[in-house]
């Protein structure tokens, strides 16, 4: 059985852990607020841009773009966006599971590119590791993500790879996220979707400038926007997951401190009671 001195050490250690987890929770909460605003502001733009591209490309005749061309090449690139730090519950483990399942089911030769090292550490012995991107700060900027997107797009345009995918966690709320893998190149529109759009818009639009000029300008922007929005989703999901994990850890520390304190007080009370009995017994023996 632990003595009072050992329990005091455990309580002191647990209180130190509680301070750390509480501080990390506050930091993650502040970062989450900023990241949540960023993704909520970015999603409407990205969705509207994608819808515009789908509509115009479906209605315009005799138009082609290198980002829309499907390839027979079975070699693909998978950009995996994870965290550089742990202590964020199942954020990285769930994404790594999604990546493993995707690679096993797709039947393609997939080379993996990484933003963040945690998922790489989990899957590096099971996948083809092509590159881990590094940035000036922990979180990449928009311009740095443009460079990443263009590097992968260059491989696609050259025919070195036939598809580009992005694996990341979709931010749902401060306590929820969903791992996913989405294709960003080629930007394929299914025939069913094209027919639906043609039925929805059974008339010709007038374009200024020409449809080709509009699409040539918007398609690359849509691709970059899709990649960057994936990063924003991943960052918001990471901060939310870490905040939730640190909140649980802090609660567990409180419970542990309370239990240890009660146990220590019981031992202390038992020691005091024993000492009192000894004093009383001694006094009685002297009087007797």
Sign of CA dihedral 177, 243, 39, 101: negative
pLDDT by residue for the chain (288 residues), tens only, comes to 468 889 999 999 999 999 999 999 999 999 999 999 999 999 999 888 888 887 777 777 777 889 988 888 999 999 999 999 989 989 999 999 999 999 999 989 999 999 999 999 999 999 999 999 999 888 899 999 999 999 999 999 999 999 999 999 999 998 899 999 999 999 877 677 777 777 777 666 777 788 788 888 889 999 999 999 999 999 999 999 999 999 999 999 999 999 999 999 998 888 888 888 877 777 777 775
pTM of the model: 0.88
Q: Is the bond into 186 cis (omega within 30 degrees of 0)?
A: yes
Specify the pLDDT at position 213: 86
Q: Which of 236, 231, 64 is nearest to 147 (CA)?
A: 231
Torsion of CA 51, 55, 58, 64, to 10 degrees: -70
| DSSP letters spanning 100-116 | HHHHHHH-SEEEEEEES
Specify the pLDDT at position 203: 62
Identify whether the C-beta of residue 87 lies closer than 8 Å to the C-beta of residue 244: no
Helices (H), 124-162: 142-158
Report how far residue 189's alpha carbon sits from residue 186's, in angstroms, rounded to the nearest whole number: 9
All domains of the chain in start order, with CATH: 43-244 (3.40.1380.10)
Report how far residue 7's alpha carbon sits from residue 15's, in angstroms, rounded to the nearest whole number: 12
Q: Residue 133: which residues within 8 A CB-CB, separation 6 or more?
A: 113, 114, 115, 140, 148
Q: What is the DSSP letter of 288?
A: -
At how many degrees (to 10) do helices 211-287 and 142-158 cross? 130
3-state secondary structure of 84: coil
Q: Cα-flanking dihedrals φ and ψ of residue 158, to 5°?
A: -80, -10
Report how far residue 219's alpha carbon sits from residue 212's, in angstroms, rounded to the nearest whole number: 10
């Amino acid at each position: 059985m632990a003595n009072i001195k050992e329990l005091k050490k455990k309580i002191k250690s647990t209180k130190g852990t509680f301070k750390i987890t509480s501080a990390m929770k506050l930091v993650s909460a502040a970062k989450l607020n900023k990241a949540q605003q960023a993704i909520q502001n970015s999603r409407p733009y990205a969705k509207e841009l994608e819808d515009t591209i789908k509509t115009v490309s479906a209605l315009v005749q005799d138009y082609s773009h290198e980002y829309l061309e499907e390839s027979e090449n079975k070699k693909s690139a998978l950009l995996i966006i994870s965290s550089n730090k742990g202590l964020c519950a199942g954020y990285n483990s769930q994404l790594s599971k999604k990546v493993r399942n995707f690679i096993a089911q797709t039947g393609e030769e997939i080379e993996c590119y990484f933003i963040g090292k945690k998922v790489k550490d989990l899957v590096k012995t099971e996948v083809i590791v092509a590159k881990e991107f590094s940035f000036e700060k922990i979180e990449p900027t928009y311009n740095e993500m443009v460079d990443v997107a263009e590097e992968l797009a260059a491989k696609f345009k050259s025919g070195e790879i036939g598809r580009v995918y992005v694996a990341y966690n979709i931010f749902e709320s401060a306590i929820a996220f969903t791992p996913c893998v989405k294709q960003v190149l080629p930007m394929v529109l299914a025939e069913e979707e094209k027919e639906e759009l043609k039925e929805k818009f059974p008339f010709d639009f007038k374009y200024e400038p020409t449809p080709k000029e509009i699409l040539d300008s918007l398609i690359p922007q849509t691709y970059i926007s899709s990649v960057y929005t994936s990063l924003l989703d991943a960052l918001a999901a990471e901060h939310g997951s870490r905040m939730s994990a640190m909140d649980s850890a802090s609660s567990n520390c409180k419970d542990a401190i309370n239990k240890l304190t009660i146990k220590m007080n019981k031992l202390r009370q038992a020691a005091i009671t024993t000492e009192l009995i000894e004093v009383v017994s001694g006094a009685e023996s002297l009087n007797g």
